[in-house]
Structure 1
Amino acid sequence: MRDQSFPSASLEDWKAKSEESLKGRTIETLAKDIYEEIKMKPLYTRQDQTVASPFPAQGDFRRGVYALGYVSQEWKVAQKIHVDELKVSLQKAMEKGQTAISFEVNDVILTQLEDLEEFHGHYPYSLNGKAYHGRLLDTVSRFASAVEGTGFIAQDPIAILAENGAAEDNVNVAYKELYEAISKAAQTLPNVRTILVDTTPYHNGGANAVQELAIAISTGVTHIEELSSRGLSLDTILSKLVFQFSIGANFFMEVAKLRAARILWSKVTEAYGAVSQGMMISATTSSYTKTVFDPYVNMLRAGNEAFAAVLGGVQYLHVSPFNEPEGAATEFSERIARNTQLILREEAHLTMTIDPAGGSWYIEHLTNELADKAWQLFLGIDEKGGILEGLKQGWIQSEIASVREKRETAVSTRKQTIVGTNKYADLRGDSLDVQGQPGDKATGFIEPIPQGRLAEPFERLRKKATLLKEKGISPVVGLITLGDVKSYKMRMDFIQGFLSPGGIESKVSGEILKAEAAEEFIKETNLQHYIICGSNEQYEAFGLAVAEQLKVTYHNVQLYLAGIPEEKAKWEQSGIKDFIHVKSNCYETLSYLLADMEVGADD
């Protein structure tokens, strides 16, 4: 066997072999445009490598902030526990693998902050203080062992404005309060970071990775300028900063995003003449990607996102429970979320490899492209006066809205799949109970960035279908299947999968060989909408005649055709209202059908 060898193959050989299977297309046709306006190539090679990556904790810190990665400093399991009794809940969480103090801050928690003293110094904090920032720092600063505290209790006043909006200019007040809170805590909590750059509101508004990165860097620069003008030194500000990112569904993009973030921040600190110590990153799996229907799929989504976060080199990680859209986790969902991290640590052994993504031609190239594009956008934001001015002008909101619309269009047309929502929907599966809408946001000075989830439009369709059922209206469409099962099954399956995301069921006629059988099926089912399904051969043989006859006999019934026939005009003349195919806008079609069912029932 030692004497065996394989013939060498050049890149051109690989391309030629690949193009044989593409039936005349070139391999370049497999390139894909993505939301970040980066063209993803089907293959990355050594030719795509620009410069060799430095060692971790060196150079631009793309490979992480610790020389030995997670071997020396494991990421912190920072699950945001939902509690009634803070002390008891934290104790249980720590016993089950939690390694950081993390929870959603609210008015109830504020009455129990003294209970944190038992954990102070033993576990680092991972807290976005938001409006409660000063109160949190003040309480923790009074602990007897306050100086032993680590982690972060931080706030990003700009993110609060972006998420909630503002009726008047209170930026100076916000930064004055932040400065005072940081200054008070500097002596008593020397190792606790208190300044946050939070990109979550932008991510949940639909921003792409380039926008998240540029906004993060612009926010960090604004923090430096605002706080240094009030008396904080550059070294103090840099040592108190922590960045928070939401991790989306595009696995390699999210890995590259975190690596690019460290490159960009290293570039900023270098521009300020400071010695960079790297970027501390707290990450949370995305809320934007989660769904109400088929909610257990959220576990898979969160696992994918958590894996990307760890490979990207975060220091703190929260994995969202699968029922997060309901607003309150259960003991079971919190356990599964926490165990996701423990599996990555204990079973996948991700703490035993230093920067596994380092050196990958694909990831390194993507990292560089992201960093370059984000830097250019950061410069564009800076030219407009910075992140605050961009928000005041509405330019940031508009740019994010443009990407959000592209995402929603891709989901509506099913170019982007959301499993269990716009594809593979289970009409009898589980769903979460999401009540109410967010409260009113402030407007005037800064318009809030709309927060939401990508699946919401289709979820509204499912809710509409449920409401119709409660009114006694069955959201059902009849399928007129031409020929034998072999002839119609492929298109019948497609149509059933097309209808189910809107909560619409189907009644199947069985083999239809002549118009009279189709008429009998309509008479028996008495529905408003029917879709003719069959093979192209069946359409040519007698499908058109069936449609023409049904138009005469049942002129009030709406007829659709599965697929696009060659003689489209003839089918339209025969009474076909529309054609349902892979390029159809699924959301718009289903929305129309449900609305028409309701109107038809009222007539």
Structure 2
Amino acid sequence: DFNPFKKPLRKGVSFEASQLVNMACELLDAVKDVKGLRVLSVDSDMLSNAGSYIYQELGYALAWGADWMTLLTEAGRSATEVACRIKFNMGVSSNFFMELAKFRAARMMWAQVVAQYKPECECAPKMVAHATTSRFNQTLYDAHVNLLRSQTETMSAALAGVDSITVTPFDTPYKTPDEFSERIARNQQHLLKEESHLDKVIDPAGGSYYVETITVASAKEAWKLFIDVEDKGGFLALCNAGEVQKAVRESAEKRHIDVARRKDILLGTNQYPNVNEMAADKIVNLQGAFSCSCHPEADACDCEAGLPTKRAASDFEALRLATEAASNRPKVFMLTIGNLAMRLARAQFSTNFFGCAGYEIIDNLGFESVEEGVDAALAKGADIVVLCSSDDEYAEYAPAAFKYLNGRAEFVVAGAPACMDDLKAQGINDYVHVRCNVLDTLRDFNNRLLKK
């Protein structure tokens, strides 16, 4: 696991090729009598945990491996010697079939890459791949869901035929894994190997039209990226220039936006949260959870040099921890009225929406009038009153409720009714609906409501 690329990737510190070659040659000499020991690593799991897309991890991993081949063969080492010392440490995320296809495509393309160096041994083009389940999509809240995530990720890797797997313990986001969580992580592999026998069949996905199709599609996209990296001077050159880190940061930002808008679902974090769960007391260490490794106390990742370390759930978790730390926990009251089906659906939607910030939710069966509902909300000490009804009825109910509430609590309409412009003209400015950026909306409410 010799990885001099770690420093430029994480810290943006350049690394000279001659330095790398000298160290690698020294290491190869040291292990020349140890057959099968793979000491030159391609740690593309760093890219996966930083938030890269699957095709990026695959394309950059090929370029990374090709750099080892090029630099060391040019230094006089044989292609067979170098190829047989390279090990790929790759990440695996929850995109089940695409991750399965990634490893299949990786083996196919790596064989083609190594073949260009004309190794003497036929075994040289064989990829040795280790898979590590993702940290990027692990969550602090509802942490046992991490077991489900890592289990499907392990299945992807096993069915793809990797050589070895590390299952990341479920409690990694908030502390150093203990004996219990590490035992559970090991047992997840044992279940798949000893009870499901996933190690007994070579390439069980082979011949599946869907898997074969996405394997080829993944390979095409990754190959384009690989060729682009080679045209620009190779993986090390792009790392030293910060281009790899920049591309991954841009991908990570897009993925964080998708989580904020709930295009990507993190169960228990940005959808269906347990609103009564408190997590602050179980946190031992959140180093790098909400920011880049250069600024552990920052609110956002602003590092312009290295890979980001922020997990997909970090922003939502920071929101809920702020709610826990505040002296008041905001109360959200569902003012349900009118059409039964619509008010129930919108009350459920709004419960999930505001629950992502850890607010106390007060649901109701329905009211005969908006005045009755507002009075009940104020009696409960509500900070936010959410009107839940149908689009047709909002034109009547929303202005009446807003006027009667008269600023005694925040007023929100659940949905995006056709009469929204008319309601905004009357001063009703807050709406929650599927097109909202959930994170930004909740941050705004936190700024209005929380007392330090």
TM-score (norm: length of structure 1)? 0.68
Question: Contact (CA 8 Å) 2:385, 2:409: kept in 1 or not?
Answer: yes
Distance in 1 (CA, whole Å) between partners of 2:202 and 2:73 is 36
Residues 214 and 378 of structure 1 are in contact (CA less than 8 Å); yes or no, is this contact kept in structure 2?
Answer: yes
Pair 1:545–1:375, CA change in 2 (3 A): closer
Equivalent residue letter for 2:319: L
* 2: CA distance, partners of 1:171 / 1:505: 57
Of 159, 163, 186, the match for 1:315: 163
- 1:455 equivalent to 2:313? Answer yes
Measure the CA separation in 2 of the matches of 1:279 and 1:537: 61
1:126-525 alignment runs, 5 A limit: 154-166=1-13, 169-187=15-33, 189-274=34-119, 275=122, 276-429=124-277, 431=279, 432-438=282-288, 439-440=293-294, 447-468=305-326, 472-483=327-338, 488-508=343-363, 511-525=366-380
Q: Secondary structure, in 3 states, of the residue corresponding to 1:351?
A: coil
- Structure 1 position 317, deviation (Å): 0.8
Shift of 1:537: 4.7
Distance 1:335 1:526 in 2: 46
Residues in 2 aligned to 1:323 and 1:561: alpha-carbon distance in whole angstroms: 37
Q: 1:253 to 1:434 in 2, by over 3 A?
A: farther
Aligned to 1:546: 400
Counterpart secondary structure, 1:577: coil
Q: What are the superposed Cα offsets for residues 461-497 of structure 1, whole Å, 9 maximum, x if unpaired?
A: 11111111xxx21222232222486552221111001
The 2-side partners of 1:345 and 1:454 are apart by 30
Equivalent residues of 2:50, 2:308 under 8 A apart: yes
RMSD: 2.2
Distance 2:115 2:74 in 1: 19
Look up the match of 1:583: 435
Query: In 1, distance between residues paired with 2:323 and 2:71?
Result: 51
**For structure 2, which runs of at least 5 residues remain unmatched after alignment?**
296-303
| Whole-angstrom distance in 2 between the partners of 1:350 and 1:519 | 58
Give the whole-Å Cα distance in 2 for the aligned partners of 1:306 and 1:318.
8
On the 8 A contact 2:242/2:306 being kept in 1, the answer is no
Aligned partner of 1:236: which letter? E
Distance 1:355 1:466, change over 3 A: same
| Secondary structure in structure 1 of the residue aligned to 2:204 | coil
3-state DSSP class of the match of 2:156? helix
Q: How far, CA to CA, are the matches of 2:191 and 2:325 in structure 1?
A: 41
Which SS does the other structure have where 1:186 is aligned?
Answer: coil
Q: Distance in 1 between matches of 2:361 and 2:399?
A: 23
> Following TM superposition, by how much is the alpha carbon of 1:447 offset from its aligned partner in structure 2, in angstroms?
2.2
Equivalent position amino acid for 2:316 in 1 = F
Q: CA deviation at 1:298?
A: 0.7
Query: Displacement of 1:526 after TM fit?
Result: 4.2
Compute the displacement of 1:358 (Å): 0.3
How far off its partner does 1:437 sit? 2.7
**1:572 Cα deviation from its structure 2 partner:** 1.3
Please state whether the residue corresponding to 1:382 is helix, strand or coil.
helix
Equivalent residue pairs, number: 435
Which consecutive unaligned segments of at least 5 residues does structure 1 have?
1-153
Look up the equivalent residue of 1:162 and give its one-letter code: L
Instruction: Name the amino acid aligned to 1:234.
Output: A
The one-letter code sitting in structure 1 at the alignment partner of 2:285 is Q
Give the C-alpha shift of residue 156 in structure 1.
2.1
Secondary structure, in 3 states, of the residue corresponding to 1:478?
A: strand
What's the TM-score, normalizing by structure 2?
0.90
In the alignment, the residues of structure 2 paired with residue 406 and residue 213 of structure 1 have an alpha-carbon distance, to the nearest angstrom, of: 18
